[in-house]
């Protein structure tokens, strides 16, 4: 009985459902993940084996990679695989795993894990690291999903007096932010930072000049 309890406890600590911190708080709908992928990922996580995944990162061609799985996190019906790859922390969206294969080789990972703490640490690094930029935006509610669908994370959201929404969102870098706001044209307004407003103004002015009617 003790062995059974130890096994159950080990499985439980590899799963985390709806933690307080939402790494990518942008969609409310569940994402479809093939049952075969879920089954292979779960087996590798619970057995402590290495996992080979065919992963499609954003704006990149799918690529096979071998990882050491740590645990599974579910946030707002979206699944994430926490793992390491060549010793570096990695977080994978389950919906972007096109195929998965449990390997016989043991995963390089600690015997025990505090998955909630691990998720919080990764979330903090995600929100503050790299070249990511945070933007304050006013957007027409009808175009909200388009905005948040391109953002990395939604940090805050409230309604303006005129019925528009005011969101604080994170983008991968300055070029990503400018591209996302440009797609929304007059259905969104970047309120801050100033460099983004200036960049969008210059782009709009250049387009207006190009198409100005000749006298």
| 123-127, 131-135, 170-174, 204-208: the lowest-pLDDT one | 123-127
CA 147 to chain CA mean position, Å: 14
Q: Residues 52, 87: one domain?
A: yes
Query: What b/e string do you get for 31-49 counting C-beta neighbours within 10 Å, with b at 16 or more?
Result: eebeeebeebbbebbbebb
Confidence band, pLDDT 50/70/90 cuts, at residue 29: low
Instruction: Extract the tokens encoding 52.
Output: 């080979």
Of residues 119 and 198, more confidently modeled: 198
Question: For the segment 133-170, what is each residue's pLDDT rounded down to a tens digit?
Answer: 899 999 999 999 999 888 878 889 999 999 999 999 98
Is pLDDT at 213 greater than 80 in this prediction?
no
C-alpha distances (whole Å) from 123 to each of 82, 106, 208 are 11, 27, 41
Query: For residue 169, is it within any domain?
Result: yes
Is there a single domain that holds both residue 102 and residue 182? no
Say if 215 falls within a structural domain.
no
Q: Are residues 146 and 113 in the same domain?
A: no
Q: Is residue 201 part of a domain?
A: yes
pTM of the model: 0.54
Q: Sorting pLDDT into bands at 50, 70 and 90, what band is 127?
A: low
Residue 149 structural domain: 133-210
Find the mean pLDDT for residues 69-97.
89
């Amino acid at each position: 009985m003790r062995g059974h309890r130890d096994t159950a406890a080990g499985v439980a600590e590899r799963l985390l459902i709806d933690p307080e911190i939402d790494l990518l708080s942008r969609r409310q709908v569940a994402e479809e993940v093939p049952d075969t992928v879920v089954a292979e990922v779960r087996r590798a996580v619970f057995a402590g084996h290495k996992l080979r995944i065919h992963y499609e990162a954003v704006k990149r061609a799918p690529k096979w990679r071998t990882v050491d799985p740590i645990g599974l996190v579910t946030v707002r019906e979206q699944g994430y695989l926490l793992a390491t790859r060549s010793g570096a922390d990695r977080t994978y969206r389950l919906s972007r795993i096109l195929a998965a294969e449990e390997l016989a080789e043991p995963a390089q990972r600690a015997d025990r894990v505090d998955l909630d703490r691990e998720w919080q640490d990764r979330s903090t690094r995600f929100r503050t690291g790299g070249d990511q930029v945070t933007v304050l935006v006013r957007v027409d509610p009808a175009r909200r999903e388009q905005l948040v669908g391109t953002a990395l994370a939604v940090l805050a959201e409230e309604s303006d007096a005129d019925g528009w929404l005011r969101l604080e969102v994170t983008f991968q870098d300055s070029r990503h932010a400018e591209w996302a706001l440009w797609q929304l044209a007059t259905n969104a307004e970047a309120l801050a930072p100033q460099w983004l407003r200036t960049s969008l103004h210059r782009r709009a002015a250049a387009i207006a000049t190009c198409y100005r009617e000749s006298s």
